[in-house]
Chain A
């Protein structure tokens, strides 16, 4: 029987790691993710998890050791956030390029400066081009589930790419919620053992990993990563279906909420989706035709799902906790890019919100909604809207 426990998001991630039975874990503490390696250390210390836990001296070495272990042919896991993820940046590209299905849990946290330990998505968003599959969790249950699913997808022969699952700093990492811990036997069935055919370091089959790619070969190697990421779309859907059959919880690339007759659809990711659904309920009671959509899988970006969504509404309002300076929100860019060649497309609005732990309240959502309603009548005034900005201290 699955066990239900009240736990923090970080504990849920550690439980996911335990259930997935990685053979090597390498991690370095960083707020807000520190509890993940702490909890895993406990599991290892108690003999509940039979793994080598490498207590590395930096995040750069954490991901490097994971690359080494994964390349040697075993399932590996790590956790980090923010500056730690940024320090890994170089190796993230390499892990994907070497086609190593490492899984990483991220407590989504803002980047310095100024130093800030609270939630936004700038850390993972900034790694969107590395070739890692990206999942974003709405709550602690999703954090656990999407880490298991990340292993399943990453290790699929058609994919073989690393994957990260993000869950919001403090809002999830440090918040306790009831979480159902799946049965180990079912997880074992779901994931199977990692037995790579392509990459392992065995003296009986001496292969060379991490070659130099000349201009004559580099593009093909990168195309292979592209192809794998494209394949991931189908593999993720299959994994979601299998997960639902086994564990009863349904996941979708994009989860829609009251969108069918919506004039305005607000699109977001992560824990903000929960608040947004409550907001939609409230506005529906007031007679506002509003819906919500949650992007669960950000890489590969759910292009088709966004196209389908766009057909339903007059406005797509993107609420995102990240910014690409000099351009706008990254999710906005992806949504806009998905629709650019559509014959008919809705107004797309770019809202930067909740950076660095700024609590996203109903007042802020009202502000965004007001702008969306006005845009229908009077058109779009700004390329990018910063919501909840304290203009008085600027």
Chain B
């Protein structure tokens, strides 16, 4: 079955890169993948959407993703302004970078997912990278919450994307988030 993932972030947080790294990680596990941004003019701070498709067979479809299986939110403030669960499939998963509680987050979601994963990715990013760029830490949460890719594949994909020390640090952030993510079955 094809898995479709939608990322919500703000320009500069690396949502597009997150979608690409996830594709890379799944590719490393022998999957067919596709990742792309919402085709727009990306500006710092503006809401950004990116997509990843993962499948066991070649992916031919080229449409945007309207009914994702999984939604990943890189910036907590987007819960206020964007309907991040729009089109979310029944039994879908939502992963949110937030310091807030399960209840507070659920209150903001228009649609209740089957599974909710929360992690303070910003805190982890600030601690390890010194920057509030949450794309790599949120992928750790993704690995934990979905099991679709192994955290080791995420780490490898991160190191292939960022070279040297930067890669190491980002991989560490992903691992840290993987450990700290709390998953709620709803």
A–B direct contact (CB < 8 Å): yes
Interface residues as binary, A343-381 with B (CB distance below 8 Å gives 1, 0 otherwise): 000000000000001011110000000000000000000
Q: Given A6-B23, A274-B60, A278-B61 in contact, is the A174-B39 Cβ separation under 8 Å? A: yes
Q: Given A274-B61, A361-B66 in contact, is the A170-B37 Cβ separation under 8 Å? A: yes
| B33 adjacent to chain A (CB < 8 Å) | yes
Contacts of A362 in B (CB 8 A): 63
- The answer to whether A171 and B33 have CB atoms under 8 Å apart is no
6 new A-B contacts, CB < 8 A, other than A6-B23, A6-B33, A175-B34, are A118-B39, A119-B39, A170-B39, A271-B62, A272-B62, A275-B63
B36 contacts which of A175, A275, A277, A361 (Cβ < 8 Å)?
A175
| A19 adjacent to chain B (CB < 8 Å) | no
Q: List 12 A-B contacts (CB under 8 A).
A: A6-B24, A6-B33, A139-B60, A168-B62, A172-B62, A176-B36, A177-B59, A271-B62, A275-B62, A275-B63, A278-B60, A359-B64
| B20 adjacent to chain A (CB < 8 Å) | yes
Interface size class of A (residues with CB under 8 A): 20 to 34
- Expressed in whole angstroms, the minimum distance between the Cβ of A117 and any Cβ of chain B is 7
Contacts of A272 in B (CB 8 A): 62
Interface residues of A (CB under 8 A from B): 6, 117-119, 138-139, 168-172, 174-178, 271-272, 274-275, 277-278, 357, 359-362
Contacts of A357 in B (CB 8 A): 39
CB nearest to A357 among chain B residues:
B39
Contacts of B66 in A (CB 8 A): 361
Contacts of A275 in B (CB 8 A): 60-63
B20 contacts which of A6, A119, A170, A360 (Cβ < 8 Å)?
A6
- Expressed in whole angstroms, the minimum distance between the Cβ of A171 and any Cβ of chain B is 5
- Expressed in whole angstroms, the minimum distance between the Cβ of B163 and any Cβ of chain A is 13
- The answer to whether B35 and A176 have CB atoms under 8 Å apart is yes
- Expressed in whole angstroms, the minimum distance between the Cβ of B33 and any Cβ of chain A is 6
Q: Given A275-B61, A359-B63 in contact, is the A171-B41 Cβ separation under 8 Å? A: no
- The answer to whether B60 and A171 have CB atoms under 8 Å apart is no
- The answer to whether B60 and A277 have CB atoms under 8 Å apart is yes
Contacts of A174 in B (CB 8 A): 36-37, 39
- The answer to whether B36 and A178 have CB atoms under 8 Å apart is no
Which of B23, B24, B60 has the most A CB atoms < 10 Å from its CB? B60
